[in-house]
Chains A and B, each alone.
Chain A
Amino acid sequence: MYAFKYAKAKSVADAATSIAADPDAKLLAGGQSLIAAMKLRLSQPSALVDLGNIADLRYTRIEGDTLVVGAMSTHAFVAACADVRKAIPALAALAGDIGDRQVRNMGTIGGSIATNDPAADYPAGCVGLGATIITTKRKIAADDFFGSMYETALEPGEIITAVSFPIPKRAAYIKFKNQASRFALVGVFVAETPAGVRVAVTGAGPGVFRVAEMEKALSAKFAPESVANIKVPADNLNADLHAQADYRAHLVTVMAKRAVAKASE
C-alpha cells in the first residue's frame, strides 16, 4: 500500500469539505473494494476520508411507498433489517449474498454503488428496482447513475447519502457466481414496480444494463416462459477466463427465467 493521509469525517458536511480540498483524496466507506485495491498498489489516493463514524448514514426506513437505505448501511445490516425483508425481500436477499459474511459486515451500499464494480450486485438491485441515488448535491435516477465499469455520475466532492427504492409488487435477484471471486458472473434482478417491469443485468457487460425486450415480454405476461427464448446479443458482453461472451449471454436468459420464477413464488 502506498502511503496516504487519513482523516475521520465527523459529518457528511465535514467529509465534503475534506474531499473538496484534495482532488486525489478518496472517500472510505466499508473499504472492502478500496482497501483491497490499495493493498495491491492498484489505487493510490493521497488521502482517505473515512465515513465510518457517521452513524446517521446507517438506517433503513419506509417513506410512503419507498424504502430508503442510508449510504453507510452495511450489507449485513440491510439483509437483516425487518423493514427491508418485509418491503423488498429480494433486496434483503441480494444484500445477504454479497461477497461473504465478513465482507457483508463491513461493505456498505454507498461504497458498493460508488465503486460500480461491473460484477457487483447492488447496481442490479438499484437499476432493477428503479431506485434513486440521493447525494449531497442532488437526486439521480439509477438509470442515469451507473456508467461503464467503475464509472458513475458522481461529480468530484459529491457524496452519496442514501438510496431510495420504490417498493415493487414483486421482485427477485438470481446470481451465477464466479467460481473464484464469488462476484456475479451474471446476475439478473427482475422487478414488477409501480412504474412497470424492470430487468437489470450485472456481471455480464461492462456495466449494469436493462433488457428492454424482456421487460416488454414480462409486462405482457409475468412468467418464466416469457423470457425463456429472449437472448441478449453477446457482442458487447464481457469475455474472460471465467466465461466467454456467448456463455454469459446464455446465462442472462437462464438467470432471468429463474428470477421471474422466484419472484412469482
Chain B
Amino acid sequence: MSHDDFHGRLEDDRMVTGSGTYSLDWDFPQAAHAWFLRADRAHAQIVSIDASAALAHPGVIAVLTGEDLQAAGFKSLPVLTIPTRPDAMKPLLPFRPCLATGKVRMAGEAVVCVIAETQQIAMDATELVSVEYKELPPVVDALDALKPGAPQVHADVPGNLYWDYDDGDQAGTDALFAKAATIVKHDLYNHRVIGNPMEPRCCISEYDAAKEQYFLYSPTQGPRIQAAMVAKVLGVPTDKVDVVAKDTGGGFGIRSAVYPEYCVTLLASKKLGRPVCWNGSRSESFLTDNQARDFICHGELALDDKGKFLSMRFYMVANNGAYLAPTGLLSQTRSVTSCITGVYDVPVAHARIKLVATNTAQVAAYRGAGRPIMSTMLECLVERAAIDLDMDPVEIRRNNLIRKDQFPYAMTNGTTYDCGDFEAVLDDALAAADWKGFEQRRAESAKRGKLRGRALSTYIESTAAGGIPDEAQLRFEADGTLSLFASSHSHGQGHETSFAQVVSRVLGLPMKTIKLRTGEAGMRVGGGGTGGSRSMVSFGSSFFLGAQEVVKKGKELAAKELEAAPADITFDHGEFSIAGTDRRISLQNLIQKHQGTHPHPLDSSSANKYGMTYPNGAHIAEVEIDPETGVTDIISYIAVDDIGNVITHALVEGQMQGGLTQGAGQIFGEHAIYDRESGQLLTGSFMDYPMPRAVLVEGLQIIDHPVPTALNPLGAKGVGEAGCTGALPTLSNAILDALRPVGVKHFDMPATPQRVWQAIQEAKAGRPSAMLSYTLEYA
C-alpha cells in the first residue's frame, strides 16, 4: 500500500464514534466492585490486619487478604523468560504475592481487597480497614541497595542482588583493551519512567462455576500468554482461563503482564458467584504498573591510534524494584546486550549487569525494553570519543560501521545480524538534515541569544524475539467472511488492518470480508503476544504463510472443479485457472461452494518461529536552548530507518512518530522520582509527571530506507519500538552539544528547564559535570 491510498483503518469507524469496547465497557450489570487497600509506606512488616469494620459497612460483600489467597493455593506471580547464561548462574526469583503477606515492599503494594455493591462503597470501606505496620527503612536507589548493611528487600535475595548477569567475551575484551591506544569512558543514568498507556489498568473478572472456567476482561497485549500467567498464579491449567479483550487502550509492554488485581478479583468472583469489577485509577497505574529503565550505566571504548574501535565493555546496575515482573529479567539483561556494539564493526565485547532489588515498583519491558539502554550508552560513548579525541562525529561513526559486505555479521555474544546497509542509511540522514549547513544555523540561533545543538545517532535493535512459534489461523465462516485468529492483540498498532492486508494481498479477497479476532473467549492459538515489535514480522508472516496454505488447498479444490491436476492450476488475483486456457474459478466461488461446512475445506493455519530481525537507523536532531529559562525546543528531527519491507506505510509512520515522541517524553521531563528517605513515589499523577503534549515534538521527518530481511517471508523488521530506541541517544547528544559551548561536560537526562538552567549555572561556577548522577568502575 503506498502512502497515498491510505484512507483509514478497519478499526477506526468504531473508535472515532465511541463504539469501541475497552475493558470497562463490557456490560456486567451484576458485577460487584473491588477496591484495594494499598501500602501507604515503602517497607514494613505487617503486624496485623483488622477488616471487621469494613466487613460490617453496609454494602460490603467480602474482604480478601493475603491469607485468603494462601488458603486458595495462590502461587507467585511468574517471571516469563529467563535468558540463558553460559555459566549456568541462575537469577534469584523471590515469591511475589498478589496481596502482601508478612511484609510490604513498595508503596502502593496491594494489601487488602474490599468487595462491595458499588465502587464508592468499596472505597469508603477500604478506609475502615486498619493495618498495623512495623516500619522498616526503605531503600530506593540501586547503588544504595548494593551497599553492605543496606535494608534487605527479600530475605532470600542476599545483598539485594537478583542477578549478576554478564554477556559477551570478557577475556577477549580485556585482551583487546590491553592493546588499545586510547580508552574512552563514559557514565550516564538512564532514569526511571512510567509508561502510562491512556487506559488505566482495570479488569472485570468472572468465574463460570458450571464450566469451572475463569474469564478475565482486561487490557492485554496477548490474551493467551496472559491467560497462561494467570493460570500459573491460580494453579489451574492454562485452558481454564480466558482473557477476553476487544480494544486495549495502549500497552507499550506494560499491558503484557499479569498483575495482582486480576488474580484476586478472579478468586473473588469464584467465591461470590458473581462478576467482580476493578475500576483501577490512574493513581494506581502510576504506583503499581510495571515501570521502566532506571539503569546506571558505565561504558568503555577501546580505540587504536587511527580511531578504529577495537572493543567495548560495559558495567550497568539496573534497579529492578521490589519484585521481578514477568518481563523483568529479559528486558534488563539480554534485551540490553543483544546489540552490544550497535552498528559498529566490533565483534568482541562484554557487558555485566547487576539486577538489584529496591523498595520501588517493579521495572520491566516498556517500549524498547532494554535496547534504548544500550543505544543510549553506546551513542553517548561514541560521541564522547569524538569529543575527547577531537574527531568528526560523522567520520568516527562512518569509519567503524559494519560494511554491507560483512553480513551475516556474527558477534561473540551470540548475536548475528543478517543484513543492513548502515552507511547508506547514515548518508540519507546527513543529506536530509543538511548536516553541513549547521554552523550557519547555530550562528543564527546565537544571534537570538539561543544555544543550538545538533547530534547524529545510529541505532540497531533486536526485534521479534523468537521463543515460541507464533500461530495464525484462518477460518472461513458460514456468513462468507474469513476470520483470522492469533494471540497478538493490538493495543494501537492496527492489527485488524495490517493482518487483513497481508491476507488480502495473497488471496485477493476484499479487506472488509476479513476479520481479525484476537481476544475472544474460547480462542486457543499458540504464540506470544504483541511485544518486542514482533507482530508483523512473526504473526504477519504466519498469516502470509497461512494464506498461502489456503491457496494450496484451493488449488486442489479448483483442480477437482476444473477437472485438472493441481499442478496445472495457477492462482492470480483471486482466481484459479488452468494455465493457457480460459477455464477458471474464483476463490470466492470456491469459498461459497463450501460455505457453512465446518471445518471449511480451505481453513488453514501456520505456526512458525522466525529469526530475530535488526531494524536500524540514523537519526539527526537539532535543538535550541533558551539559556535564560533552560527551555529546550526540538527544531528538527530526521529519522531514517531501515525496518525492512513496509506493509502499510501510514501505520509504520504512526509507530515511528509515537515511539519518537515517547523517547522525547523521557528526554524532556518524564521521570519517576522516589523519595530517598520515605520511599514514596513523588511523581504519582499527571500533576507531577510531565507527559508529552502536542507542543513537544514538531518538525519531525521520517524517511524509509528498507533493506528487506530474508529471515521471514514478508521481509519485514520490527518497527514498534525503533523510534524510542533511536530518540533517546539522539536527543541526549543534541542537548549536550548545545550545552558544551557554555562549559557543560556531562548532562544526565531529563532535560527539564530547571535541570538545563542548573547545568549552565553549575558550569559557570566551574562544575561542568555537576549534572552527572552516578559514576561506576568497570569490574
Contact = CB atoms under 8 A, between A and B. Distances in A.
B686 A180 contact: yes
Contact of B690 (A1, A180, A243, A247): A180
Contact of B669 (A41, A179, A243): A179
B754 A243 contact: yes
A247 B754 CA distance: 7
Given A251-B629, A254-B629, A180 B689 contact: yes
B10 interface: no
Interface residues of A, number: 17
B752 interface: yes
Contacts of B673: 241
A242 B754 contact: yes
A228 to B, nearest CB: 10
Max count, chain B CB within 10 A of own CB: residue among A2, A180, A254 = A180
A105 interface: no
A241 B682 contact: yes
Max count, chain B CB within 10 A of own CB: residue among A41, A176, A179, A254 = A179
A102 interface: no
A181 B688 contact: yes
Contact of A180 (B628, B687, B753, B754): B687
Interface residues of B, number: 23
Nearest to B686: A180
Nearest to A181: B687
A183 B669 CA distance: 16
A197 B683 CA distance: 39
A241 B683 contact: yes
A198 to B, nearest CB: 23
A243 B756 CA distance: 11
Contacts, number: 42
B775 interface: no
Nearest to A186: B629
Interface in A33-50: 40-41
A247 B683 contact: no
A244 interface: yes
Contacts of B123: 41
Nearest to B688: A180
Interface string A241-265: 1111001001100100000000000
B481 interface: no
A55 to B, nearest CB: 32
Interface string A159-187: 00000000000000000100111000000
Given A241-B683, A254-B628, A180 B758 contact: no
A71 B683 CA distance: 34
A142 B117 CA distance: 48
Contacts of B683: 180, 241
B669 A247 contact: no
Interface in A1-45: 1-3, 40-41
Chain B, interface SS category: loop
Contacts of B283: 40
A234 B380 CA distance: 35
B629 A1 contact: no
B757 A250 contact: yes
B420 to A, nearest CB: 37
Max count, chain B CB within 10 A of own CB: residue among A40, A247, A250, A254 = A247
Contacts of A241: 673, 682-683, 688
B120 interface: yes
Contacts of A242: 688, 752, 754
Contact of B629 (A3, A40, A176, A180): A176
A3 B123 CA distance: 11
A179 B752 contact: yes
Nearest to A254: B628
A180 B682 contact: no
Contacts of A251: 629
Interface in B663-711: 668-669, 673, 682-683, 686-691
Contacts of A180: 669, 683, 686-691
Interface in B622-666: 628-630
Max count, chain A CB within 10 A of own CB: residue among B124, B673, B752, B754 = B754
A244 B686 contact: no
A188 to B, nearest CB: 13
Contacts of B628: 254
Contacts of A1: 120
Contacts of B752: 179, 242
Given A176-B629, A251-B629, A254-B629, A244 B687 contact: no
Contacts of A243: 754
A151 to B, nearest CB: 21
B240 to A, nearest CB: 38
A1 B123 CA distance: 9
A3 B59 CA distance: 14
A127 B609 CA distance: 69
B473 to A, nearest CB: 44
A176 B753 CA distance: 10
Interface string B583-612: 000000000000000000000000000000
Interface in B443-479: none
A179 B686 contact: no
Interface string A74-89: 0000000000000000
A63 B682 CA distance: 48
Contact of A247 (B682, B688, B758): B758
14 contacts: A40-B283, A176-B629, A179-B752, A179-B753, A180-B669, A180-B683, A180-B690, A180-B691, A181-B686, A181-B688, A242-B688, A244-B754, A247-B757, A250-B757
Interface of B: 120, 123-124, 283, 628-630, 668-669, 673, 682-683, 686-691, 752-754, 757-758
Closest 5 interchain pairs by CB? A179-B690, A180-B690, A181-B687, A179-B669, A243-B754
